[in-house]
Amino acid sequence: MKNVGTSENRVSIIFKPRRRKVLGKYVISKATVFMTMQTQLEIVHRCQKVMSHAWVVRTFIKHCDEVEDFPELMNIARIIFDTSCALETRLDDPAQYLRMLQKKIGKFQKAVEQFHIDAPQASTHTNFVQAGISLQTSLDDLQSLLQLGLSLPE
């Protein structure tokens, strides 16, 4: 286990390598990383980083040519904007931030699910595939962080 970050924002990371046997030798195929966060403030900081990834997808969607032919793609951009703005107003109060995230996560989840339906109709380009993966990862991370954050004392 090693500690990373400043003393204010310390995160402990435990690396548990998964091994597979290749030609009689063991090689590390993928490291599993577990983050142990101690406070709701650390959860909020991590949520903000996750939201920044969603914001990049929002920017891509807003400026892609396909949105002219498929305006339904703008729904995810609106939801990301709404969620981000609502969360930013509560950065100073982690408990309120997590409550707001709890209120917004349902709409975000529905929008991500709809994006997975709409995006392939608009384009099968790698950018849309990767945007879908990024949105799903952001959603999964936010749900996990929310669950962890709500289990911590205020």
Question: What would the pLDDT profile of 83-126 be if each residue is shown by its tens digit?
Answer: 999 999 999 999 999 999 999 999 999 999 999 999 888 888 98
Predicted confidence at residue 77, as pLDDT, reads 94
Q: Which CATH class is domain 40-151?
A: mainly alpha
pLDDT in tens, 32-42: 223 455 788 99
Distance of alpha carbon 145 from alpha carbon 50, whole angstroms: 10
Tokens read off for 131: 């945007």
Tokens read off for 120: 């392939």
- Which three-class secondary structure state does DSSP give residue 14? strand
Task: Output the pTM of the full model.
Answer: 0.74
Predicted confidence at residue 67, as pLDDT, reads 82
Strand boundaries in the chain, DSSP class E: 2-4, 11-22, 25-36
Q: Where are the domains of the chain?
A: 2-36, 40-151
Does residue 41 contact residue 26 with C-beta atoms inside 8 Å? no
Predicted confidence at residue 39, as pLDDT, reads 86
| Residue 1 burial (10 A CB sphere; 0-12, 13-18, 19+) | exposed
Residue 151 banded pLDDT, cuts 50, 70, 90: confident
Look at 107 and 15; give whichever has higher pLDDT.
107
pLDDT in tens, 42-71: 999 999 999 999 999 999 999 988 888 888
Predicted confidence at residue 10, as pLDDT, reads 44
Residue 66 amino acid letter: E
